[in-house]
Amino acid sequence: MNIEGVGEVQVRFGFPEYWEHAYQQYSAFLERAPRLQDGLNGVTNRSYENVGPLEKVILNLSMLVGVGLVEVVTLVCNGLGRGAMKVVRGMIENAINAEYLRLNPAECDDYMEWHWIEQHRLYIWMKGRSPQQLSNVPFETIKASEAAYERARSRFEYATPKGERKLRARWCTNSLDVRAQQTGFAETYRAVHPIACQILHGTVGGLFKYFDVGVDEHRIAAPPSDTWGREALVAGHECALRALDTVCKTFNVEPEPSLETLGKDFMAIWGKPQQKAGGPPEELT
């Protein structure tokens, strides 16, 4: 953020001086991306009959992927590709989970009931670290939440070799990499997810990805930068396209423009062949 001017404050967010450069870099994507957004909005904004919990979860996860793409474009076009990669990490997981639940509808209850495990963990944290804040929560709310936790926890417990009962670490018995394999996201997951996690968590590998040693080998580079912008857009584009495909299969609808058209857009933009209309590219980088 920059504040300029004398007498009257002018506020700028991002790097407007980078916008024209970003357009020159990514014009093919920026000119076609609204078509994908229109397609996703068109199927998620429709009124559907007999929409159950599964359909609601898939619909909203897919919409979240669409929101993620808007965030990625905003960051990349301000020279913040590394920040965009952090968003892509979440987009990948949301797109995988939406398709995984479509293929495994019986696991939707686990996805939903995991909420009470998270609420219980929050309650324990607040009880130990922020009792004053917890005191503002109505007792009946806490009581109801803890009762729901007691009902739900058995579905997430497992027996240790010593016979103890412990909660597993996630809502699904399959890890994210297994879910990626089962939903056709394996190549994207392997190519993008580890790097995005490094950047997100600030590991040494993630820190290295902020350096431009040609400018300064001792300090991370200052934005704006082209670095990781293209990778974030390719992965974000694929996730949004795949999320749209999932919604269409869930509700048996066709978007406008069609999945075939949007798949051809992907190929025209990035020069990568599609495995199938609405499916993932064969490679990302």
What pLDDT sits at residue 50?
87
Tokens of 260: 């075939």
Q: Is the pLDDT of residue 3 over 70?
A: no
CA angle centred on 256, ends 254 and 257, rounded to 5°: 110
Q: Is the dihedral of CA 76, 82, 87, 91 positive or negative?
A: positive
The enclosing H or E element of 10 equals strand 10-12
End-to-end CA distance of the chain: 32
> What is the Cα 220 distance to its own chain's centre?
26
In angstroms, rounded to a whole number, what is the distance separating the alpha carbons of residues 124 and 179?
A: 30
pLDDT tens for residues 80-128? Answer: 999 999 999 999 999 999 999 999 999 999 999 999 999 999 999 999 9
What pLDDT sits at residue 217?
92
Q: Which one is predicted more confidently, 175 or 285?
A: 175
pLDDT tens for residues 130-145? Answer: 999 999 999 999 999 9
pLDDT tens for residues 144-177? Answer: 999 999 999 999 999 999 999 999 999 999 999 9
Average pLDDT of the chain to the nearest whole number: 92
Q: Is the pLDDT of residue 272 over 70?
A: no
Q: Nearest Cα to 266, choosing from 226, 227, 233?
A: 233
Q: Which residues contact 233 (CB under 8 A, 6 or more apart)?
A: 26, 29, 72, 73, 76, 84
pLDDT tens for residues 200-214? Answer: 999 999 999 999 998
- Residue ranges per structural domain of the chain: 16-107+175-270, 109-167
Tokens of 54: 């599964």
What pLDDT sits at residue 7?
59
In angstroms, rounded to a whole number, what is the distance separating the alpha carbons of residues 237 and 244?
A: 11
